[in-house]
Structure 1
């Protein structure tokens, strides 16, 4: 399943970073368009429970918020280029190891899926699957 692949890829990435856990504002991806869920998680001792927190909007709203934020944190060239560039420096903008980096993206996908399950939104699951596949690609 793709979810398991995402967790494996994320673990491998953190291993490459030596399980660094930087602190401060630079540890996070930009706050521009960032879903409230991430701010909530950061302020609440980074607690993860299966049920989405109260700050989580309905799945359709969260989907729209997430895609805007995802586009914001990705490198600018990604809109024009569909193949992975050979120049790894072009990915530097995505390098955010630790609790405040790629884990926040995994957290969003986790709670988004649980919100879909809670709401019984079959149609919206396709959007979540597209997001999951794109995160794995990155």
Structure 2
């Protein structure tokens, strides 16, 4: 997943639009991280990892294109079409999805099933 993201960013010369991914529904930690200029502590405090995961899924589903069907609070892994703004590059783009996955993983203790599913879907 990281390799695919890196290639996509490289093709865009590591630049992106001023307006990135849909900010509504994204985890509050992303807003704080962006507001700090993406500096400071590498991991924001995640008190409730399950609430963070739920917020992340809600945001992920919201930024996915219409042709991807939502099943419960996750995405169905079928269909075909343009990825649109989901592929936004630069600091306000897909990097935010990736950093959330890292924070989520770092906050977990043992059970990686939900996180593994998220990574597989993003990939």
TM-score, reference length from structure 2: 0.85
Q: How does 1:6-85 map to 2 (within 5 A)?
A: 6-23=1-18, 26=19, 28-47=20-39, 49-50=41-42, 52-54=43-45, 56-79=46-69, 82-83=77-78, 85=80
Larger Rg belongs to: 1
**Does residue 133 in structure 1 map to residue 114 in structure 2?**
no
TM-score, normalising length: structure 1: 0.76
Report the Cα offset of residue 48 of structure 1.
Answer: 6.5
Q: Which runs of 5+ in 2 are unaligned?
A: 71-75
Q: How many residues align?
A: 118
RMSD: 1.9
SS state of the match for residue 13, structure 2?
A: coil
Structure with more contact order per residue of length (Cα contacts < 8 Å, sep ≥ 6): 1
